[in-house]
Every structure is written in structure tokens, then in C-alpha cells.
Chains A and B, each alone.
Chain A
Amino acid sequence: MAIVKMQKLSVCANKKHRKAILEALQSMGAMEIHTEDIVSDDALQRMDTTNAIASFEKTAVSFDRSLKIIDSVTKEKSKGGLFAGMDEIKKSDYDSVVADREDLVKEANEVVSLEKEKTEALGTIQKDENQKLSLNPWLSLDVPMNFEGTQTTDAFIGTVPGSIDEETLYAKATENIEEPAVSTEILAQSPDATAVFVISHKKISDKVSENLRNIGFSRPAQVSSYVPKTGVEMLDGDIVDQKTRIQQIDEKIAGYAKEKERFRIASDYFRSRAEKYKVLGTIPQSEHVFFLEGWVTAPSAPKITKLLTEKFDAVVSEEEKQEGETEPVVLSNNKFASNVEGVLESYGLPQHGKIDPTFIMSIFYVFFFGMMLSDAGYGLVMTVVCCIVLAKHKNMADGMKKFLRLFAWCGVSTMFWGAMYGGFFGNAIDTIATTFFGYKGPDIVKPIWFNPLNNPMKLLLYCMLFGLIHLYTGLAIKGIQMLKDHDFVGFFSDIVAWFMFLVGIIFLLLPTSLFEGIAGTEFNFPAFVHPLAKWMTIIGMIIILLMSGRGNKNWAIRIALGAYDIYGITSWLSDVLSYSRLLALGLATGVIANVVNMMGSMAGGGVGGAILFIVVFILGHILNILINALGAYVHTNRLQYVEFFGKFYDGGGIKFKPFKAANKYTEIKEEM
């Protein structure tokens, strides 16, 4: 339950070991390399690796793409979805891929170019279809589209706007012509345009042409030299050809499916190599040696030092942290607490020298989650589902694993609270007993503690008590932090004084009629409690009043700041009231679950009733679990982030990002 101590190492080694050292560091994934602080002068040069990086990344992407293409052809879905992890591969497989990488790159490029060819073929089909469509109106024409006439005639093939019949066309075409040696034919008609074929004698063709132009005649934009019908046949033939071509391409691509595993390894190999060259590009090097610096975890420092010195004759020295430098953060927690690291991380990691609240938070997290979901049946479902998923997907990503483990634990806590409140899928057992077995009598399932619906006020007070404990823990952590920093004045005036003030006020308020009314009980404290509480409150208040603004020299401002700080008691009030959500969400789960059972039992007993009950039961409770687990998750987070962290924690740590292989698909299984 702590932040791991970090150690900075600086390495100086012979240039010829450069790549070997980087590869060793990369496969260990234990060092975050920083080279920007090393002074560079003329003797130290940095290598330009941009081109190499770009080319490796491009290769990795082309593997990714060909994998996608193969999947789309073979219609294979990526397995596992959300829970999919990396494939474990054998070192020998990896080595063989590295050895064959040139061939694999060729194969991947082949897949990509096949895909390109396929796209082209699809484009051609589309073009053919369009052409077929544009030939449609001319299908009844039995001369080529570019037919201009015979020796004595001129032909006009084209369209006129609007829909006209043959007679009108003839009349319009032969207007003002004395000897109308003209033949007209309507080829196709639509409301927008009419396709026409007009032949006239050469002598009058100028006039006919003018007449036709007057009614808006125009020739088609593209004319072909074949009869439209033959054209359509040719296009159809081409489409069939293209389709066979696509099929052949698909078969070829599918033939690469057996290489997918190797493609994945190769993609990871090239991506990691790009990563290596990125670091390589930042390393200052002279003619014979190179330097690098970086953070490692303190426990791993000797191992790394030993490896580098013995294997590569490098000079490794442990450096002190310099001014203005922040070491990256790695958390180390026990198996239970480490599951909430993700929750902590999404708020912000702790800084070095601060306290890591993971362990304390994990306890409250699971406790509060259980209180909000609070149904033994739901908890059971959650735990079982999480465990099944965990068992099924052994190598899923680490973050997901922790998340599911956390929820398995939350399920356990939910079961506990369900037992306390007497909820097992709401009142399912009693409903079944009364509806189907005619049971009449006292409740079968009895809460160990009490049913919150019968006495919400009592539970409300308990929720606030749990809230106070949570908040006090937060304040206490801040106190410990101050003691660690040797800020004793701060510890006394900000922490101890507040504790006195708050505890005093609570003990003053509890015996008042207002609170006794809420709690429904009387608080009979021994006689000394009241004066003690009174004096604690007063002393605490005075200390806060005088000491809160201690940074300020002016006493008037100092007192005013102190008074303002006392006003901060209102934020404590709202913080404590905020824990009433523990009650509200707990009630919500229970009541909705009861409603589901009630709806299920509406048809009464018998077979029909049982069927209805089962259907409603399954659907209703699944819905209720989902919605209320979401609510419990969100509001547990809120209680941690806003109320708890608000008292002491501000995050701000930077995550440790070691230099490692940039694997996307595979993980090499270490062979023992």
C-alpha cells in the first residue's frame, strides 16, 4: 500500500551495444527513459531516426490493414470483444516470424494490393451499371448511337425535354418545311424527357435540325459506336467478369487467413521496433559511446545494473533526483487493494512523498457499493458473473482484470448487505411461497439487521455515521501526511482542532430533542459528556479561529480567515448529508426488486402464472441489477472522489511509463 520508490540510473556504454541494450531494456519493460536532460554539445550527436520510425510504423499499419481485410473476407469476428486480451505466443514462433519478416511484409503488401484490385473491380461494376442505366432509353434503337445518317439522309438521335408523342414530334420537326421527307420515332418516354430518333433527307436536314433545336433537342453527352442492345450485352458480360475476378481475389485473400497469427506477431514486431527507434533517436552519442538516463523502480535497479554491466560492459551509476524533476509513480498494493488502483488512477495518482490512499479507499469502496446495491441475490449474480468472465478470459488486459475483480468483491459486499437488509432478489422467496405454495404466515426471509423500508430514519442515521467515519478517515490521513512533513503546527491547528470541534458539536447536538426525534431513541450520556463536549467545541473553535489564517501577519485578516474557516462547518454538513444516498439507492434496489416480483405474481399460481413469473423475474431483475449496479458504481465513485478525497487528496502524480514493446496483439510467453 504504497508508492514504489524510484531510482534514476544513468548508463554509458559502447556504441556497438546500442541496439542490443535498447532491446534488452525494451523486453524488460522496466525503465522510463529520459534523455532530454543530458547536455548535448558538438561531441554528442543525436541520430535522426525519423525515416526509420515512419517506415516501421507504415509496415505495422499495413499488417494491421491486411488483418482487417482478411477478417472482412472470411467474415471472422474478433473474438472476446471487450474482454479479449493478447494472445500468448511461443518465443520460437516469434523468432521464426522475425526471420521471415521480409516475406511476411511482401505477403501483407500483396493482401493490401489485392484489396485495392477488388476496390477497382467494384468500381468498374458500378461504372458498368451506370452505363447500362444511361443506355436504357435507347434500347429499341437498332443502329449504333453515333449513327449520323446514310448517303442521302441525316440522323438525329437524342432527347427532347418533356413528354411528347410521335405526332407532335413529327409536326414540330417538319414545321415550315414544304417537302417533309422526315421519319420520326419515339424510342422511350418519361415525364422529364423523351428519347427520339429522327431521320431526314439531307436537303432539308438543316431546317429539321433547327426545328428540333427549337423544341430543345440535344444529343446525349457520350455516344458509343455500337448498337445499344449489344452495348448492354457487353456491359453485362463485363460485370460477370468483374464478379468472377472479385471472387478470385477473395479466395486469394482468404488463402492468407492461415498467416493471421504470423501477421499479428509481425505487426507487433514492427511497432515495437518503431518504438525502439524513437528512443534511439533521442539518445545522445559520441563517436564511440552513447548515454541514456531513466527511471526504474528502486527494487529492480540492481538487477538492471547487473545486466547492463555484465552483459554489455556498460557503466551504470545511480543518480540523485535533481531540482524540478518529478519521479514517475508506480503503486504497489496487496491483491485486494490493487483492484481499486484503476479508480484512483482515473482521479489522479498520488505524488511521491504523499500517502497512497488505495488500501483505505478499497475497503470503503467495497463497503459502500454493497450498501447501495444491497441485495444478496444481485451480489451473488455479480460475483459469479465476474468470476466466470475472469476464468474464461485468462489473458485479458490488466486494467479490465482488476475492474472485474473489484466488482467480484463488491458483489460479496452486496451479498453481505443483502443479508443484513433481508433482500434476496427483493422478496422473491416470500412471493414464490405465497403465490405458488399457498404459504401464509410470517416472513420466511428475515433481515439479520433490519428492513430499511420499515425504519428509514434509523438507517439514515447509520449512513451518516458511516459517512462521518469515512470523512474522519480522510482528515486523519491528512493529519498523518502533515506529521510526515513535520508540520506540527498545521497538524495541531488544522486537524486536531477540527476533530475536537466536530466531535464536540456532535455530542452537543445528539441529546437535543431534534436528533432524538429523528433517531427515535434517547441518548443518555453520562453527566461529564456534556461539559466535555462543550469545552471541546469551544477550544477547537478558538484554535481554528486563531490559527487558520496563520500565514497572514495582519491579525484582523487572520481572525477573519479563521472565522471563514469555521463557516466551513457547512461543507461538513453537506458532505455528511451526501451519504444519505447510501440509504436512497439501497431502498431503490429493494423496492424495485419487490415491484418486479409483484408484477410477476400478478397472474397468480398455476402453470401460466409460473411462466409469467419466470419471464418477468428474469427480465425485471436483470434490468434492475444493471441500472442499480451502474448507480452504485457511479455514486460510490462520487463518495470517494468528492467527499473523501476532498478532505485530503489532490492527485497530481505522473504515471510510470516504461519503455517496452508496443504490442497490440501478442505477448511472448516466457519459456521456463
Chain B
Amino acid sequence: MSMGMVYALLGAVLSTALAGIGSAWGVGMAGQAAAGVTAEDPDQFAKVLILQLLPGTQGIYGLLVTFITLSRIGILGGKAITDTNTGLMYLLACLPIAIVGLISAYHQGKTAVASIGIVAKKPDQFGKAMLFPAMVETYAILALLISILVISNIH
């Protein structure tokens, strides 16, 4: 196996691992807040559950990039990499979603906690509360986009 393969795999693994860590972190934080609200007012369960899930998407984006990578480097499909440079390119391509996924999920989790606070006090303001965490997610989406665009253009 070439060194390039190792780099590419490293990238693939990092994008799921880091983005996943971020999501677990964010969903965990939001989950604690959501549990607190549900204990006081069980009717808000559905709303706070949605808010809790919002930071979970980064993990999925990471998984997505991993699968696209794996399906191109000869593990789940495509051709095996023979040179180191191509491998490094895959590693770099995976970094946006890995890093931004990690950090944005953490901060989205914090924002979700605050939004759960909105729902606890004013359940009818759910629409607005949902928007704040969604703003953070924008940057994860941009990172995902760049990762996908780069990977799909490596030849």
C-alpha cells in the first residue's frame, strides 16, 4: 500500500472522527438542557428534541465526506491511489469538514442550549429559537461543500 493511501485514509477517518466528536459534544450539551426543560414541561418534548438534534448534522456531514472519499480511493470503490501527492490532496480535502465540523458543532450545541432556554420560557417562539443554531450550521455546510467539491475534482 502506498503512502498516498495512508494519507487519504487519514483524511477520511478524521472527517468522521472530528466532526463526530463535535456533534456528540453539541448534542450532549443540548440534550442536558432539553432533559431539564422536559422535566418541567413534558409538552415541550418534541420542540426541544428538534433543537437538541440540530448540532448532530455535522457528524453526518463528516460521515458523508468519509464515504465519498472511501468510494474514490479503492476501499469502497474507485481506483487505489499510487502516489503520495494525491493522498495528501485527499487529506487536505477532508480537513474543512473535519475541523469546521468539530468546532461548529460545539458552538451550535451551545446555541441550541440557549434556544432551548427560549422554548422553556416562551414555547410559542419556537420558530425563532430554531433559527439561531441554524445560523451556526451555515459554516459547516460551507465546509462540507468545499470538501465535496475538492474531492470530486481530484483526479
Tell me whether chain A's interface is mostly helix, strand or loop, or mixed.
helix
Chain B neighbourhood of A631, CB < 8 A? 57
Tell me the nearest residue of chain B to A590, going by C-beta: B64
Chain A neighbourhood of B57, CB < 8 A? 588, 627, 631
Q: How far is the CB of A600 from chain B (nearest CB, A)?
A: 14
B50 within 8 Å of A (CB atoms):
yes
Q: How far is the CB of B22 from chain A (nearest CB, A)?
A: 16
Chain A CB within 10 A, most for which of B46, B60, B68, B135:
B60
Chain A neighbourhood of B46, CB < 8 A? 82
B85 within 8 Å of A (CB atoms):
no
Q: How far is the CB of A462 from chain B (nearest CB, A)?
A: 14
User: Would you give the 0/1 interface string for A581-598, flagging 1 where the beta carbon is closer than 8 Å to chain B?
Assistant: 101110110011011001
Q: Would B128 and A346 count as touching, CB distance under 8 A?
A: yes
A635 within 8 Å of B (CB atoms):
yes
A595 to B56, CA, bound (A): 18
B92 within 8 Å of A (CB atoms):
no
Chain A neighbourhood of B91, CB < 8 A? none
A592 to B63, CA, bound (A): 8
Which residues, 26 to 56 on B, are CB-close (under 8 Å) to A? 46, 50, 53-54, 56
Which residues, 608 to 666 on A, are CB-close (under 8 Å) to B? 627, 630-631, 634-635, 637-638, 641-642
Q: How far is the CB of A570 from chain B (nearest CB, A)?
A: 15
A410 within 8 Å of B (CB atoms):
no
A457 within 8 Å of B (CB atoms):
yes
User: Would you give the 0/1 interface string for B127-142, flagging 1 where the beta carbon is closer than 8 Å to chain A?
Assistant: 1101100110110011
Tell me the nearest residue of chain B to A577, going by C-beta: B142
Q: How far is the CB of B94 from chain A (nearest CB, A)?
A: 15
A184 within 8 Å of B (CB atoms):
no
Q: Would B64 and A592 count as touching, CB distance under 8 A?
A: yes
User: Would you give the 0/1 interface string for A213-239, flagging 1 where the beta carbon is closer than 8 Å to chain B?
Assistant: 000000000000000000000000000
Q: Would B53 and A627 count as touching, CB distance under 8 A?
A: yes
User: Would you give the 0/1 interface string for A501-526, flagging 1 where the beta carbon is closer than 8 Å to chain B?
Assistant: 00000000000000000000000000
Q: Would A453 and B152 count as touching, CB distance under 8 A?
A: yes
A460 to B135, CA, bound (A): 20
Given contacts A592-B63, A592-B64, is CB(A637)–CB(B130) below 8 Å?
yes
B145 within 8 Å of A (CB atoms):
yes
Q: How far is the CB of B24 from chain A (nearest CB, A)?
A: 15
Chain B neighbourhood of A585, CB < 8 A? 141
Chain A neighbourhood of B68, CB < 8 A? 453, 591
Given contacts A591-B68, A595-B67, A631-B57, is CB(A642)–CB(B135) below 8 Å?
yes
Which residues, 107 to 138 on B, are CB-close (under 8 Å) to A? 124-128, 130-131, 134-135, 137-138
A343 within 8 Å of B (CB atoms):
yes
Q: Would A588 and B131 count as touching, CB distance under 8 A?
A: no
Tell me the nearest residue of chain B to A344, going by C-beta: B127
A197 within 8 Å of B (CB atoms):
no
Tell me the nearest residue of chain B to A624, going by C-beta: B60
Chain B neighbourhood of A347, CB < 8 A? 127-128
Chain B neighbourhood of A578, CB < 8 A? 138
A456 within 8 Å of B (CB atoms):
yes
User: Would you give the 0/1 interface string for B94-112, flagging 1 where the beta carbon is closer than 8 Å to chain A?
Assistant: 0000000000000000000
Which of A343, A577, A592, A634 contacts B60 (CB under 8 A)?
A592
B73 within 8 Å of A (CB atoms):
no
**Which size class do A's interface residues fall under?**
20 to 34
Q: Would B149 and A457 count as touching, CB distance under 8 A?
A: yes
B13 within 8 Å of A (CB atoms):
no
Tell me the nearest residue of chain B to A595, going by C-beta: B67
Q: Would B131 and A641 count as touching, CB distance under 8 A?
A: yes
Task: For the complex, count residues of B whose C-beta is within 8 A of A.
Answer: 31
A395 within 8 Å of B (CB atoms):
no
Chain B neighbourhood of A634, CB < 8 A? 50, 54, 130, 134, 137
Q: How far is the CB of B69 from chain A (nearest CB, A)?
A: 11
A456 to B56, CA, bound (A): 24
A205 within 8 Å of B (CB atoms):
no
A286 within 8 Å of B (CB atoms):
no
A34 to B10, CA, bound (A): 68
Chain A neighbourhood of B64, CB < 8 A? 587-588, 591-592
A395 to B54, CA, bound (A): 31
A580 within 8 Å of B (CB atoms):
yes
Q: How far is the CB of B53 from chain A (nearest CB, A)?
A: 6
A635 to B141, CA, bound (A): 11
A598 to B63, CA, bound (A): 14
Which residues, 374 to 401 on A, are CB-close (under 8 Å) to B? none
Q: Would B50 and A630 count as touching, CB distance under 8 A?
A: yes
Given contacts A346-B126, A630-B53, is CB(A580)–CB(B131) below 8 Å?
no
Q: Would B145 and A637 count as touching, CB distance under 8 A?
A: no
Which residues, 57 to 89 on B, are CB-close (under 8 Å) to A? 57, 60-61, 63-64, 67-68, 76
Q: Would B141 and A637 count as touching, CB distance under 8 A?
A: no
B148 within 8 Å of A (CB atoms):
yes
Given contacts A346-B127, A581-B141, A638-B134, is CB(A591)–CB(B67) below 8 Å?
yes
A583 to B145, CA, bound (A): 8
Which residues, 561 to 585 on A, are CB-close (under 8 Å) to B? 577-578, 580-581, 583-585
Q: How far is the CB of B104 from chain A (nearest CB, A)?
A: 13
B19 within 8 Å of A (CB atoms):
no
Q: Would B141 and A627 count as touching, CB distance under 8 A?
A: no
B93 within 8 Å of A (CB atoms):
no
Tell me the nearest residue of chain A to B152, going by C-beta: A456
Chain A neighbourhood of B134, CB < 8 A? 634-635, 637-638
Chain B neighbourhood of A594, CB < 8 A? 67
Chain A neighbourhood of B12, CB < 8 A? none
The 5 closest A-B pairs by CB, nearest first: A346-B127, A638-B134, A584-B141, A581-B141, A584-B145
Could you list 24 A-B pairs, sorted by A, with CB under 8 Å?
A: A346-B126, A347-B127, A453-B68, A453-B152, A456-B149, A460-B149, A580-B141, A580-B142, A581-B138, A584-B148, A585-B141, A588-B57, A588-B64, A588-B144, A592-B63, A594-B67, A630-B53, A631-B57, A634-B54, A634-B134, A635-B137, A637-B130, A637-B134, A638-B131
Give the interface of A toward B (CB within 8 A): 82, 343, 345-347, 453, 456-457, 460, 577-578, 580-581, 583-585, 587-588, 591-592, 594-595, 598, 627, 630-631, 634-635, 637-638, 641-642
Apart from A584-B145, A638-B138, A641-B127: 14 A-B pairs, beta carbons within 8 A = A82-B46, A343-B127, A345-B127, A346-B128, A456-B148, A580-B142, A588-B57, A588-B61, A591-B67, A595-B63, A630-B54, A637-B130, A637-B134, A642-B135
